[in-house]
Structure formats: structure tokens, C-alpha cells
């Protein structure tokens, strides 16, 4: 299967190999494919009790409790599944911005995480979204999936507006395999990101939020009488930008980040803010060192 | 605001706005999202709008600079009373003829009255006002009055005259009313068509001029005479002088009428500020009225008509009684308007203006004008007390009208009569203690006495002799030798003799008003001549009419000669209608404001955004 080698060149692939090795060393001792989920299943690991209901398997009735309490309860066991990694990449027009472009950086990050996941025998799928959920590669295991993943990522073309709530909500309804969802986006959605994350959490996904930004967004330098045009919507706002205005912009941006951090902290969402000037392998290593998901 | 045309410079403002819009055109900058920027707007919108306002402040300041400079060029001013009103105001109303110049629908004088009444009404209650009218002679109208209504009423009753005048005398009269112990201001309401305001140096004398006049057009009659021809005294001619007082070529149709009949018509062309003299020979009746009229319209009508009374037939009737005196007869015959009658014996003298008794006995004198030569009248209070041979004239009254312009030094006289009873003030010329010449004046009699025989002296051979006779004739019959016309300038006093016994005469003025004069003195001095035209004298007077004209070059020049200082005079120049207040020009303030705004605008303009 062929994919765009200008995006995923040899050097990039070498780095992926290196990252894979590093990740294995960091998580040595854990069995492959042994990712417990909190779904009820048939493993030997006890998970919980619940009252007996007609139709339940008699084999799981806890008779000792029945003897002591004269109540019928059945034992529940945690399901033992392979980890499914869902890479959700924002391809709205706002991602086609900066040097390097955020979309390219997101592509590399997604490829790296997917590569690590596949080499860890996890199921890895990728979807791209803007205002709608577009490409959808279901999670699968195996080397062929790696090629499919790279192919899907190389075909990404930025376009459309960002609508996290609609696209991620749709994904949460569409996907049948829970697992780890890694959302790679700049989170610049006028409707907000909160409802989208809530929808994923509601479907019991573990959510990792990677916010990708570039230097121009963090520290704009243009001054004067500006007509700022939204790359996604074409809407514009008039500003008289001076140093004071830029300072206030920074304050507003920091406040935005703070809100995201608070939101994620309250809901157990892992959040990482990335600047495109940071080498992606440094990001991956940082990601792994911080003990974030993948294993 | 004196130069409103400069307001057109405000059209620069749209240009400024256009230039500003070019400079302020916004650059389009693409951003990935407006999410953060819109949050910024929500959180700091007010502050950002204020900064946008600051951005536009440069334009606002530029507009203000243009407005300030434009207004400065239009010369705006505020009216302000520069100092408190003094307790005493002396208000002088110019009533000279030039105040009759047209101004709008009225005249300069009406405008001056309106300004004066308004100024009086604005005065505080305690301020007292003295009103003086300044015509040919200044006159007090209202002294020291704090009744503003009364003063206003008196001002309204004033009328401009046809007379020339000099404001200087009125100002001096006003200054004489100024109390040294209190502050006094003199307010002069005039058209400024007089040199007096300039001469008075208003700023220094404390005189405030309220000018009610502007440039005007006038061509007028400045001379109008009926006179004998010098080469042929039996003939007469009429002289008219026209003067132009404006800077355009003028075409003036002129008509001369005698007794209501047109005798001459011509159109006179006058260059700017030109003078033309017209002489018309006249051989008609010499007891009529002549009028010259300019058939045109200008701003000043008083000098458009001239009036003269033709009195060529009026001659002095002189009776010489005596044995004969060649010298005396020759001199008397030399006067052009004198008719001499010589008799050896006196019979009656009622029809003679002057009777001369030369070396003959005089009858008692009770009425008339007489010259007694080497003789005395029996009813005079003087007596002859012998003779004095070879008298030497020791002194004479050089200032007396009879002895004016002559000398009696080294006068050779064979002898004089010694007379006694002559009072000191009656003696004109003396030899030691003895009178050589004397005068006697009573109510109806006037006598010159010469105490020696002319033929026994060298006096008839001297230059002083005809001068003496001329002086005597003028003294005994004033005005009779001066001119064949009865004509004066408006405002002057006209003197004329009346016959003995007349107790009342009437003078009918040109407008039909009649002045009654009771128990008149002889001669009558009539001074109510403020209107030009013919005056008729009724009541058996020796004179029956006379004419009054303006005939004043300075008064016909109706252009205001005094221009109040334009600005910065500290409150001594006034504009019509702004009585008691002065102009505070605002242009310096506006220029300073503009100069302050320019660096502020520069700072905003150069600020890096």
C-alpha cells in the first residue's frame, strides 16, 4: 500500500522506530494485548455484584452470599479486551495554518501514536473531522493497518469549519469499540469543545486532548489597523492592534488555556498543548514520559 | 465675523477625511480563527473602542486645527464692555449737514440717534448723561440727567441741520462739562466726515467715537455767486462751482433758474474728485431769486441746490451837503454801489442812508447816519470852545472800525475846532487833549465827527483818506458795500438793517416756519439759518429776503475721514450698534489653540501602532 512519502519520509519512519523502542522500554513488563476494560466480560478478574435477574447464568450466582443473606446475587467479571486507539484529527481550515502547518504536525503526531499503538499490538483507527466526521478508518490490529493508517493520514486535505460537538458526537455514536480517543485539534471551535468531550466521556472513552498551536497564534506580531479574517468562515473583525491590544490578546489566550485545563482536570481528560515548533518526537517522548495512555 | 468668505476653507475638512481614510485603510490579515479575538472583544471591548477613538483622534485634531485657523481668518470677535460705565457720560450728537447722507433706507443721523438711544438705555441707572448737539455751533440739549427716557426723547427730537460744523468745538464744550472729580466719558455719535475726530486723537482725549457712516457718493455745489463783472461793473454774472467727492467719472445735468425761469442748462462732466467752475453772464432783473439745481441723485442732497438773491439794484444813498469838496465827491463816487447826491443846502434827508454835512450848519439830528465835517449839530452834547492851530495828532484808536488799516502820522492840519463835552470813549483821534475825530452813537443815530476842514489839510491827498471814507461807509451801513447779494452759509448769522420805528418783523424760513422778532435791534442779527433755501423778511424791513446755502467744501466731502483702529485698541473704537462695548478679537486665541493642537496631532499621527 502506497502513501505519501513526502509526509512520511524515511527520516520520519526511522524516528517512529526509535519511538517504538523507547515506548517499549518505558512500559516493559506489561503483557501485550492485556488491557482491562471496565466493561463486564468473562475474564477471571472480579469486577462487581448485582442482583439476580431472570435469565442470568446460574453459574455466576454467589451461593455463599445467598446462604448468609438469603439473596440471589450474581458476580460480574471485567472483560479483557485489546486496547482500541481512536485517533481523531481535526482537518478544518484553521489547521491549515502556520509554519509548519498545524495539519502536517497533527498528521505526524497521529502517525507516530498510531505506529506505536500498532507495534504494541493495539487496535488503531483514525478519523478526520471538521464540521462533519469525514474519513473513518476503524481500529484494527496488524501491519496492514499501519499502511492503511499512513495512507489515510496522507490523504488528509484541510477544509471546512470546526464543529467538535457535531463531529465528535457523531463519532461517539458511530464507533462501537470503546477505548482511547486521542483528539488532535486546535480546539478553535466557536461553539466550544466541552460538549464534544462530554459526549466521548459519556461513551466511556478515555480521552486524550492534544491541542496543536503555532507561534503566530500564541504571539501575533501584526500591528496597526487590521481586518482579521477568519480562515474557516471568512468572517472578519476590525481591530486597532497595538502593544496593549496584543498584551490583552495574550491574557485572553491564557485564560482560554486555563479553562481547558480546568475542564480536563475535572473530567479526567488528559490534555497536552503542543506548539508546532516543537519537534514531534519530543512531543511523543514527553507524552510517554508523562505516563499518558497508550499502555 | 468680518471676513466670512474665509469659511470656504472649511471645505478642506472633507479632503482631510478622505486623506485620513486612505491612510487608515485596514490591512487584511488572515487568522486561523477569530475565537480568541472575539473573546478579547467581549472582555476588553470598551478599552479597545477607546483605543480606536484615540486612533481617530488625530483626524479630529486635524479638523479642529483647520476649523480654528479658518475661524481665525474670518476675524471673529466678542463684544465686551471693557471697563465699568463712568458716572457721567457726555453724549455729543453730530447734527452737521453730512449727517443727512443717505444710509440704507434712512440717514446717517437716524442711525446715530438709534445708536445713541440704545447706548443710553444700556447705561446703569445712576449714570448721568449730558447731551450736546454739534451743528454749526455746539448747543446744550440736556445737562446732567439720569432720566434715560427723557434723554432718549430729547435725542429723538434732534434733527440734522444743513449747516457745516466742526466737532472740535462741541468736544471742547463737552470737556468743559467734565467734572474733574469723577470719571467722565465723551461719546461722539458722528459719521466721521470731519477732520476733528482725527485731530482730537480720540484715544488720548477719552472721546469714544460711535461712527454711523460709510463710503458714499456725492457731487455738490460748492460755490454759487451773483456778482458784478470786474471789467464792466454795470454788468453781472453768475458763478457756479461743482466738486466731485467720489472716485468715478460723473455726468451732472445742471439747470440755472432765475425767478422760476430756466436761463441755462448744461451737462457737466466731472473726473473723480474734480472741480468745475461755470460762469454765466446775466443781464436781467436784479431783484429776483436764482436757483441752481443738479438734476441727479446722489447720497447727499443738501448741496444739490444753490440759492441766491439777486440784489444788484440795492445801492447806498448818500447826500453830501456843503459848498463843494472835490476830493470828497471823487472818493464817494468811486464806490460802485453808492449813489451820491450833492446839495449846497439841506432840506430833507429821509430817503438817504448817509448824510454828510461839510462845513455847513447841521440841523438837529434825531435819526440816521451822519458825517459832520468841521461842523456840529446843535442837539449833540458837545460845544465848540475856539480853535487850535497846527495841531499834531498824538494818538488814534487803530482798532476802531473807522480807523482800521490807515495811518494818521504826520497829518498836516491848519487848525481844528476845540470842542468840549466829548467823552473819552467817543474820541477816535486826538491832538493833545483835543479831539480831532469822534463818534457819537445813540439808539437811532450814528455820527462821525471830523473837527477840521479837509481842504485845509493834506488828508485828502493821503492814501488813508479813501480808506477812511470806506471804513465810515461800512460802519454807518454795515454789509451794504460787501456784496450785491444777500447770501450766507447755513448756520451763519445774517445781519441786516431795518427802518426806524419798526417794532416787529417776521422771518419766513424755507420750510414755511415763521420766526417772530419782537422789538428788534438795528441792525438785526438773525442766526436761525440752519436750513438751506430762501428766507423772506416781512414787516417793512429794508431787506425783504436772503438766501442760505451749504457751500462748504469740507461738509460736502461726506466720506468718513476717521477710520477707527482695526483691533487691539483697548476699547476706543466702536461699530454702529455696539454702543458701550468693544470688540475682543478671537483670532489670537484661535491661532494659539491651533498651535497647541498641531504637536498633539503630530504625536498621535506619528505613534507606532
Q: Each residue of B73-109: pLDDT tens digit? A: 888 887 666 566 778 889 999 999 999 999 888 899 9
Average pLDDT score over residue span A267-293: 77
Average pLDDT score over residue span B150-178: 88
Instruction: Indicate the helix (H) or strand (E) that contains B175.
Output: helix B167-177
Please name every residue paired with B128 in a beta bridge, in sequence order, or none if there are none. B88
CA dihedral B209, B212, B216, B222 (to 10 degrees): -70
Angstroms from B49 CA to nearest CA on chain A: 9
- Cβ atoms of residues B578 and B212 within 8 Å: no
pLDDT of residue B167: 83
Instruction: Indicate the helix (H) or strand (E) that contains A260.
Output: helix A243-267
What are the grid coordinates assigned to B49, written together? 473602542
pLDDT of residue B568: 40
Average pLDDT score over residue span A168-172: 87
CA dihedral B590, B596, B600, B606 (to 10 degrees): 100
Q: Determine contact: A256 vs chain B, CB below 8 A.
A: yes
- Tens of pLDDT along B304-329? 999 998 875 567 889 999 999 999 99
- pLDDT surpassing 50 at residue B428: yes
| Bond before B275 cis per omega within 30 degrees | no
Measured over the CA atoms of residue B44, residue B46, residue B52 and residue B54, the dihedral's sign is negative
Q: Determine contact: A65 vs chain B, CB below 8 A.
A: no
- Note every long-range contact of B152-157, with CB atoms under 8 Å and residues 24 or more positions apart, other chains counting: B152/B117, B152/B120, B152/B121, B155/B91, B155/B93, B155/B113, B155/B116, B155/B117, B155/B120, B155/B131, B156/B113, B156/B117
Number of A to B CB contacts under 8 A, please give it: 106
Angstroms from A108 CA to nearest CA on chain B: 20
Percent of chain B predicted with pLDDT > 70: 86
pLDDT of residue B582: 62
Of A188, A228, A248, the CB nearest to B29: A228
Measured over the CA atoms of residue B485, residue B491, residue B493 and residue B499, the dihedral's sign is positive
Q: DSSP 3-state assignment of B496?
A: strand
pLDDT of residue B469: 93
What's the alpha-carbon Rg for chain B, to the nearest Å? 38
Q: DSSP 3-state assignment of B160?
A: coil
- Cβ atoms of residues B136 and B165 within 8 Å: yes
- Cβ atoms of residues B165 and B135 within 8 Å: yes
Average pLDDT score over residue span B389-404: 91
pLDDT range class, residue B200, cuts 50, 70, 90: low
Contact call for B39 and A255, based on CB within 8 A? yes
Please state the ipTM of this predicted complex.
0.78
Q: Which of A88, A217, A102, A168 is nearest to B35 (CA)?
A: A217
- Tens of pLDDT along A111-157? 888 888 888 778 889 999 988 887 778 888 888 888 888 888 888 88
Task: Give chain B's mean pLDDT.
Answer: 84
What span, in angstroms and rounded, lies between the C-alpha atoms of A16 and A262? 32
Q: Determine contact: B33 vs chain A, CB below 8 A.
A: yes
DSSP code for B571:
S
pLDDT of residue B146: 86
* Pairing status of strand B27-31 against strand A224-230: parallel
pTM of the predicted model as reported, rounded to 2 decimal places = 0.46
- Tens of pLDDT along B247-286? 888 899 999 998 888 999 999 999 999 999 999 988 766 6
Which of A78-92, B41-55, B430-444 has the weakest average pLDDT? B41-55
- Tens of pLDDT along B514-528? 998 886 676 788 888
- Cβ atoms of residues A155 and A6 within 8 Å: no
- Torsions phi, psi of A26, nearest 5? -65, -30
Three-state SS across B520-566?
CCCCEEECCCCCCEEEEEECCECCCEEEEECCCHHHHCCCCCCCCCC
Q: DSSP 3-state assignment of B313?
A: coil
pLDDT of residue B230: 67
- pLDDT surpassing 80 at residue A294: no
- pLDDT surpassing 90 at residue B240: yes
Average pLDDT score over residue span A93-106: 87
- pLDDT surpassing 90 at residue A169: no
Q: Which of A101, A105, A82 is nearest to A93 (CA)?
A: A101
Of B39, B608, B609, the CB nearest to A252: B39
Interface with A, mutate which of B26, B29, B33, B604 (most A CBs under 10 A): B33
Average pLDDT score over residue span A37-63: 74
CA dihedral A83, A84, A85, A91 (to 10 degrees): -170
* A240: chain B residues, CB-CB within 8 Å: 48, 51-52, 55, 609
Q: Which of B350, B394, B384, B344 is nearest to B369 (CA)?
A: B350
pLDDT range class, residue B482, cuts 50, 70, 90: very low
Angstroms from A232 CA to nearest CA on chain B: 7
- pLDDT surpassing 60 at residue A91: yes
What span, in angstroms and rounded, lies between the C-alpha atoms of B323 and B91? 67
pLDDT of residue A19: 63
pLDDT of residue A290: 63
- Tens of pLDDT along B408-422? 988 999 999 999 999
Measured over the CA atoms of residue B323, residue B325, residue B330 and residue B332, the dihedral's sign is negative
- Torsions phi, psi of B43, nearest 5? -80, -35
Contact call for A245 and B28, based on CB within 8 A? no
| Bond before A168 cis per omega within 30 degrees | no
Angstroms from B15 CA to nearest CA on chain A: 21
DSSP code for A59:
G
What span, in angstroms and rounded, lies between the C-alpha atoms of A208 and B93? 104
Q: Which of B236, B288, B226, B295 is nearest to B260 (CA)?
A: B288
Residue with cell 488814534: B396
- Note every long-range contact of B418-421, with CB atoms under 8 Å and residues 24 or more positions apart, other chains counting: B418/B384, B418/B385, B418/B386, B418/B387, B418/B388, B419/B376, B419/B382, B419/B383, B419/B384, B419/B385, B419/B449, B419/B451, B420/B382, B420/B383, B420/B385, B421/B381, B421/B382, B421/B383
pLDDT of residue B519: 66
Percent of chain A predicted with pLDDT > 70: 80
Residues 6+ away with beta carbon under 8 Å from B309: B226, B288, B289, B290, B485, B486, B487, B534, B545, B546, B547
Which of A14-28, B123-137, B231-245 has the weakest average pLDDT? A14-28
pLDDT range class, residue A90, cuts 50, 70, 90: very high
* A222: chain B residues, CB-CB within 8 Å: 27, 29
pLDDT range class, residue B535, cuts 50, 70, 90: very high
Q: B314 to each of A275, B339, B507, how far by Cα in Å?
A: 130, 10, 20
Q: Determine contact: B40 vs chain A, CB below 8 A.
A: yes
pLDDT of residue A243: 83
pLDDT of residue B294: 93
Query: CA angle, A210 as apex, A207 and A214 as ends, to 5°?
Result: 165
What are the grid coordinates assigned to B514, written together? 415763521
- pLDDT surpassing 70 at residue B29: yes
pLDDT range class, residue B113, cuts 50, 70, 90: very high
Q: A46 to each of A38, A39, A57, A68, A75, how far by Cα in Å?
A: 11, 11, 16, 20, 7
pLDDT range class, residue A77, cuts 50, 70, 90: confident
Which of B365-374, B432-441, B457-466, B475-484 has the weakest average pLDDT? B475-484
Q: B412 to each of A162, B375, B393, how far by Cα in Å?
A: 146, 19, 9
Of A220, A227, A252, the CB nearest to B43: A252
Give the distance, in angstroms, between the CA of residue A214 and the centroid of all CA atoms in the same chain: 19
Contact call for A231 and B35, based on CB within 8 A? no
pLDDT of residue A4: 56
pLDDT range class, residue B581, cuts 50, 70, 90: low
Residue with cell 471538521: A130
Average pLDDT score over residue span A257-285: 87
Count the residues in chain B: 609
pLDDT of residue A203: 85
What span, in angstroms and rounded, lies between the C-alpha atoms of A221 and A247? 11
Amino acid at each position: 500500500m502506497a502513501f505519501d512519502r513526502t509526509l512520511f519520509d524515511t527520516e520520519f519512519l526511522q524516528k517512529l522506530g526509535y519511538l517504538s523502542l523507547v515506548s517499549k522500554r518505558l512500559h516493559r513488563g506489561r503483557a501485550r494485548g492485556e488491557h482491562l476494560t471496565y466493561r463486564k466480560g468473562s475474564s477471571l478478574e472480579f469486577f462487581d455484584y448485582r442482583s439476580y435477574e431472570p435469565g442470568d447464568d446460574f453459574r455466576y450466582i454467589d451461593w455463599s452470599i445467598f446462604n448468609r443473606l438469603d439473596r440471589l446475587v450474581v458476580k460480574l467479571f471485567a472483560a479483557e479486551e485489546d486496547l482500541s486507539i481512536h485517533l481523531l484529527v481535526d482537518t478544518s481550515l484553521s489547521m491549515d495554518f502556520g509554519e509548519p502547518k498545524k495539519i502536517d504536525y497533527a498528521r505526524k503526531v497521529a502517525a507516530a501514536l498510531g505506529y506505536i499503538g500498532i507495534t504494541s499490538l493495539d487496535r488503531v483507527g483514525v478519523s478526520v473531522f471538521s464540521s462533519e466526521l469525514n474519513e473513518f478508518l476503524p481500529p484494527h490490529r496488524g501491519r496492514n493497518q499501519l499502511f492503511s493508517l499512513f495512507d489515510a493520514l496522507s490523504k488528509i486535505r484541510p477544509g471546512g469549519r470546526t464543529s467538535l460537538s457535531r463531529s465528535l458526537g457523531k463519532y461517539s455514536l458511530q464507533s462501537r469499540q470503546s477505548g482511547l480517543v486521542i483528539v488532535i485539534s486546535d480546539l478553535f471551535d466557536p461553539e466550544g469543545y466541552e460538549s464534544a468531550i462530554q459526549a466521548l466521556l459519556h461513551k466511556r472513552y478515555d480521552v486524550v486532548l492534544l491541542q496543536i498551536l503555532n507561534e503566530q497564534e500564541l504571539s501575533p506580531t501584526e500591528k496597526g489597523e487590521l481586518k482579521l479574517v477568519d480562515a474557516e468562515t471568512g468572517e472578519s473583525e476590525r481591530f486597532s492592534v497595538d502593544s496593549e491590544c496584543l498584551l490583552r490578546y495574550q491574557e485572553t489566550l491564557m485564560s482560554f488555556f486555563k479553562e481547558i485545563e480546568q475542564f480536563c482536570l475535572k473530567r479526567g481528560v488528559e490534555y497536552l498543548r503542543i506548539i508546532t515548533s516543537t519537534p514531534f518526537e519530543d512531543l511523543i517522548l514527553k507524552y510517554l514520559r508523562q505516563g499518558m495512555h497508550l499502555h | 465675523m468680518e471676513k466670512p468668505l474665509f469659511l470656504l476653507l472649511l471645505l478642506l475638512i472633507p479632503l482631510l477625511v478622505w486623506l485620513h481614510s486612505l491612510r487608515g485603510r485596514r490591512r487584511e490579515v488572515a487568522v486561523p480563527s477569530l475565537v480568541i479575538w472575539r473573546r478579547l472583544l467581549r472582555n476588553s471591548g470598551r478599552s479597545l473602542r477607546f483605543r480606536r477613538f484615540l486612533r481617530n483622534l488625530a483626524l479630529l485634531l486635524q479638523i479642529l486645527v483647520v476649523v480654528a485657523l479658518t475661524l481665525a481668518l474670518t476675524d471673529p470677535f466678542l463684544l465686551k464692555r471693557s471697563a465699568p460705565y463712568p458716572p457721567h457720560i457726555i453724549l455729543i450728537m453730530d447734527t452737521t449737514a453730512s449727517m443727512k447722507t443717505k444710509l440704507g433706507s434712512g440717514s446717517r443721523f437716524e442711525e446715530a440717534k438709534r445708536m445713541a438711544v440704545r447706548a443710553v438705555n444700556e447705561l446703569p441707572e445712576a449714570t448721568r448723561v449730558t447731551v450736546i448737539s454739534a451743528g454749526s455751533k455746539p448747543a446744550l440739549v440736556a445737562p446732567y440727567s439720569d432720566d434715560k427716557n427723557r434723554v432718549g426723547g430729547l435725542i429723538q427730537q434732534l434733527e440734522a441741520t444743513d449747516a457745516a460744523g466742526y466737532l472740535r468745538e462741541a468736544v471742547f464744550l463737552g470737556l468743559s462739562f467734565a467734572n474733574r472729580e469723577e470719571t467722565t466719558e465723551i461719546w461722539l455719535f458722528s459719521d466721521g466726515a470731519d477732520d476733528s475726530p482725527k485731530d482730537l486723537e480720540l484715544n488720548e482725549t477719552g472721546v469714544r467715537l460711535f461712527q454711523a457712516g460709510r463710503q458714499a457718493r456725492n457731487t455738490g455745489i460748492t460755490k454759487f455767486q451773483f456778482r458784478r463783472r470786474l471789467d464792466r461793473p454795470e454788468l453781472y454774472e453768475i458763478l457756479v462751482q461743482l466738486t466731485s467727492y467720489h472716485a468715478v467719472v460723473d455726468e451732472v445735468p445742471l439747470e440755472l433758474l432765475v425767478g422760476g425761469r430756466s436761463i441755462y442748462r448744461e451737462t457737466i462732466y466731472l473726473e473723480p474728485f474734480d472741480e468745475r467752475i461755470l460762469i454765466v453772464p446775466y443781464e436781467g432783473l436784479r431783484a429776483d431769486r436764482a436757483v441752481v439745481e443738479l438734476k441727479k441723485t446722489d447720497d447727499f442732497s443738501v448741496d444739490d441746490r444753490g440759492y441766491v438773491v439777486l440784489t444788484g439794484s440795492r445801492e447806498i444813498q448818500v447826500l453830501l451837503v456843503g459848498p463843494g469838496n472835490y476830493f470828497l465827491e471823487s472818493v464817494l463816487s468811486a464806490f460802485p454801489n453808492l449813489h451820491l447826491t450833492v446839495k449846497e443846502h439841506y432840506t430833507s434827508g429821509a430817503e438817504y442812508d448817509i448824510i454828510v454835512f461839510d462845513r455847513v450848519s447841521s440841523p438837529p439830528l434825531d435819526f440816521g447816519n451822519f458825517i459832520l465835517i468841521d461842523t456840529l449839530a446843535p442837539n449833540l452834547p458837545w460845544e465848540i470852545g475856539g480853535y487850535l492851530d497846527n495841531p499834531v495828532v498824538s494818538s488814534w484808536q487803530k482798532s476802531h472800525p473807522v480807523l482800521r488799516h490807515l495811518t494818521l502820522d504826520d497829518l498836516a492840519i491848519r487848525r481844528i475846532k476845540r470842542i468840549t463835552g466829548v467823552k473819552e470813549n467817543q474820541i477816535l483821534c486826538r491832538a493833545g487833549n483835543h479831539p480831532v475825530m469822534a463818534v457819537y452813537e445813540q439808539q437811532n443815530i450814528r455820527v462821525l465827527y471830523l473837527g477840521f476842514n479837509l481842504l485845509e489839510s493834506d488828508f485828502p491827498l493821503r492814501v488813508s483818506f479813501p480808506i477812511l471814507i470806506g471804513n465810515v461807509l461800512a460802519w454807518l451801513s454795515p454789509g451794504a458795500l460787501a456784496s450785491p447779494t444777500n447770501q450766507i452759509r447755513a448756520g451763519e448769522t445774517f445781519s441786516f438793517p431795518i427802518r426806524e420805528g419798526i417794532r416787529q418783523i417776521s422771518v419766513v424760513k424755507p420750510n414755511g416756519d415763521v420766526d417772530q422778532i419782537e422789538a428788534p435791534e438795528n441792525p438785526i442779527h438773525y442766526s436761525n439759518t440752519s436750513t438751506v433755501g430762501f428766507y423772506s423778511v416781512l414787516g417793512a424791513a429794508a431787506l425783504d429776503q436772503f438766501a442760505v446755502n451749504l457751500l462748504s467744501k469740507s461738509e460736502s466731502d461726506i466720506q468718513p475721514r476717521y477710520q477707527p483702529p482695526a483691533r487691539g485698541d483697548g476699547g476706543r473704537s466702536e461699530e454702529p450698534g455696539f454702543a458701550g462695548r468693544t470688540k475682543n478679537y478671537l483670532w489670537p486665541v484661535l491661532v494659539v489653540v491651533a498651535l497647541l493642537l498641531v504637536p498633539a496631532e503630530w504625536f498621535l499621527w506619528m505613534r507606532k501602532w
